[in-house]
Amino acid sequence: MRIAVVGSGYVGLVAGACFADLGHEVILVDNDQRKLAALRAGQTPIHEKFLPELLARQRGQLLTFSDDLQGAVRASEAIFIAVGTPPSESGEADLSYVESVAREISGGINGYKVVVEKSTVPVYTSEWVRKIILRNGADPESFDVASNPEFLREGTAVTDFMYPDRIVIGCDTQRCADVLRQIYKPLTEGTYYTRNDAIPQPDRTTIPAPIIVTSTKSAELIKHASNAFLAMKISFINAVASVCESVGANVSQVCHGVGTDSRIGRRFLNPGIGYGGSCFPKDVMAFRAVARENGYDFRLLDEVMSINEDQRQRFLRKVRSALWTLRGKKLGVLGLAFKGGTDDIRESPALFIAQALLQEGCKIKAYDPAAMERTQEVISSGIKYAESAYEAAAGSDALLILTEWEEFANLDLDRLKSELHYPIVIDGRNLYDPEVMASHGFTYYSVGRAATHPDGVPIGALKNGVDKA
């Protein structure tokens, strides 16, 4: 089919490349000329596994780039809106970009079109998109508005698109549903998976992909409810980790015991320094705002956000506990992105902690496999950037692990110890076993587990964590 995707951010670029790889003719539309020039020149503007390969084989073939939205609408059967919906000061989603796109789409309708919300939007957005298009002169029989929420995780977005847990399409007419079924047919009938050049299949996937057809309002709520629930799960286990630290329990053992319950599951039971990124913080606030606007005070989400913010402060207190005073301390920092596998630093708890430590007078040398360039755009001074994890550790009074990159979990511990000024590791992602770290001579702090010391002395008994370490 012929598809237009409006917006070349994380969602739009991944969706456009994946739709093209499924065999559709895709026009990716953006009004940022610099982005378009970079894409046409063969550049990949975001760090995303398998995306460079898809862009390379579809660019100029089934995937083209344009700044002419109305021309793309005229040439397409389905138009996916994938523009930003940033939070306002009140937490509500800013839908001005969606509205602007809807107005312009109306001028390009020259036959039946399906306009699809791909951006994460609050319930009732589909109704407003339809009203805007109608107000700008479109025939009511010439288009339908659908909701097709994305469930992509940054770092594995291409794989998530091609091997989805489910495909949700919210439609209010059968004609509209038939178009979207046709678009996803290579996945729902499984023909894509028979190809020799298909993206490799990850573990724990269902083939062919199940499709769920709902009303547009239900689809809009599914996306917000899913992200809010996952954020709640993360905040819940972080709260449990705090209790574990207070009573001397091991949160890893607790997670194993809880996660093996099939009703709960192990995924997202990973204590750390809190969630971040472009989705969870924004979507939780937006879902709460929608609930309040419709007369329900969703206090549970207030607590989810509160726990998430407190988790960052608890980690900072852990750093102070390990080092006593912070001013003038040299710290190695591993990780700046909000999670491993991406260069996205939006709402990154790692970046929040790094900035807070800079304000305390610390000197930071940081390393991230993908996010250092983006960080330099935000923090112009104060952080030195290293070429490797070992260079970040060299001469540091302590090493902080803030992002769960795979390479950070596989460091040469003997080499790491030799690089550090003091062998202190404060791990916000629980990448290592405390006993293993102690056996290698480290004073090791993690989340929800007792701190360990190579001498076997309880950490709380030390008067000066730096000097004794």
What amino acid positions are annotated as catalytic residues? 279
Please identify which residue in the block is written with the tokens 């047919």: 185
> Cα(82)–Cα(66) distance, rounded to whole angstroms?
15
**HSE-up of residue 113 (Cα within 13 Å, Cβ side):** 28
Q: Tell me the two tokens of residue 448.
A: 């929800």
**Sign of the CA dihedral running 389, 392, 393, 397:** negative
Assign 152 to helix, strand or coil. Answer: coil
Work out the number of other CB atoms within 10 angstroms of the CB of residue 165: 13
**Element spanning 125, H or E:** helix 125-135
3-state secondary structure of 307: helix
Q: How many helices (H) and strands (E) does the chain have?
A: 19, 14
Q: How many CB atoms lie within 10 A of CB 331?
A: 25
In whole angstroms, give the CA distance from residue 185 to residue 66: 26
| b/e code 209-248 from CB counts within 10 Å (16+ = b) | bebeebebbebbbbbbebbbebbbbbbbbbbbbbebbeee
| Cα-Cα-Cα-Cα dihedral sign, residues 52, 82, 227, 222 | negative
Biggest CA pair distance of the chain: 78
- For 399-432, give the DSSP string: EEE-S--GGGGG--HHHHHHH-SS-EEEESS--S
In whole angstroms, give the CA distance from residue 19 to residue 4.
Answer: 10
d(CA 277, CA 348): 6
- Sequence-separated (6 or more) residues with CB below 8 Å from residue 192: 22, 162, 186, 198
